[in-house]
Each structure stands twice: as structure tokens, then as C-alpha cells.
Amino acid sequence: MTVTALRGHRPEVLADLLERYGREIQGLAYLILRDRGAAEDVVMDTLLTALEHGHTLRNDAALRPWLLRIAVNRALAVRRSAARVVTLTVVPDRADRAHDQDERLTLLAAVERLAPRTRAAVVLRYYADLSVRDVAEALGTRENTVKTQLREALEQMRTALGVDPAAGAVTREVLRG
């Protein structure tokens, strides 16, 4: 029903898309931009773009990757045009979660240091859980390029975190929080 309504350019589909994909799009945009307000704007821009161009969606199963691609492109455009850097400080609310929170913040800082397109590849692969093929499609590049970006990003993050490369401790569970 959602794809049919999207193709029909029916505005009521926006509420359904927001409910189904809003949090994921916002999380993805936040990991790229590191700004909650800008990530919310990316969600709205993504949904409005989807409504405007929904008629071009040919495969019903491609809705999620298509929305994520729009979101990544919007987030990267915002990142390119942004002239300021926002640094967030998070204070853990419970002492027993402090270690996990510190680990997550350290990992997010390592992700933040990646180049924007590499960060987008990491976020799509490990946060949005897209296949390498879908990441390549979303970024408009080749699969081998994505594989190289992911390998190099993981090496950079392991080095930044002081992790033995053989241990492979950079995981999507930590990234998702």
C-alpha cells in the first residue's frame, strides 16, 4: 500500500513513511551529521523528496534502500554546506552503563573522524545493515569501492581505538547503541 500511495503522490503516505522509516533515517543522518536538528531536517527533506519522486520507484522491495539513499545524499549535502562543527558532550545517567557509554562515544568519535563518504558507507553498512551491493547503489559507486572504503575505515577506527586488528572489535552493536 505504501509504495502504491507513494506512486500516486498521495500526501497521507508521509505519516506511514515517517512511522516506518523515520527513526532509521534520523539515526543514519545523525551519524553522518552529528547534529540532531539537522538530522530531523534530513528526515523531512527525505520524505518530501520521496513523495515528489515516488513515481520513479519501480521495485516495491527497493523502497527502504531508496529512502536511505535519498537520506545519505541529503545528509552529505548538508555536511558539505555546513560551516560549523558541533561537539556533543554526553554524561552517562547510570554508573553501570558508564563503560558501555564511553566505549560507544569513543567509537562514534572515531566514525566522526572518517571522511564524509566513507562515514556514509560505514553508517549504511553497519548501522542501516545494508548489503555492500545496496550501499554501493545508495552511494552511486562500485561494490569494490565500498569494500575498500569499509576496510580502510575499519582499520582507521581500530587504530584510533587502540584495538588489535586481529581482534576485530568494531561492531555494529556498539555503533547502534
Q: Where exactly are the structural domains of the chain? A: 1-86, 89-177
Helices 63-81 and 13-33 pack at an angle, to 10 degrees, of 50
pLDDT tens per residue across span 61-113:
889 999 999 999 999 888 887 655 445 455 445 544 555 677 778 888 888 88
pLDDT over threshold 60, residue 174: no
- 89-177 maps to CATH 1.10.10.10: yes
> Sorting pLDDT into bands at 50, 70 and 90, what band is 17?
very high
Residue 1's pLDDT band, with cuts at 50, 70 and 90, is low
Neighbouring C-alpha atoms within 13 Å toward the C-beta of 70: 26
The answer to whether 172 and 126 have CB atoms below 8 angstroms apart is: yes
CATH fold of 1-86 reads Rna Polymerase Sigma Factor; Chain: A (1.10.1740)
Question: What phi, psi does 10 have (nearest 5°)?
Answer: -95, 120
Q: What is the pTM of this model?
A: 0.59
∠ CA 101-104-105 to the nearest 5 degrees? 85
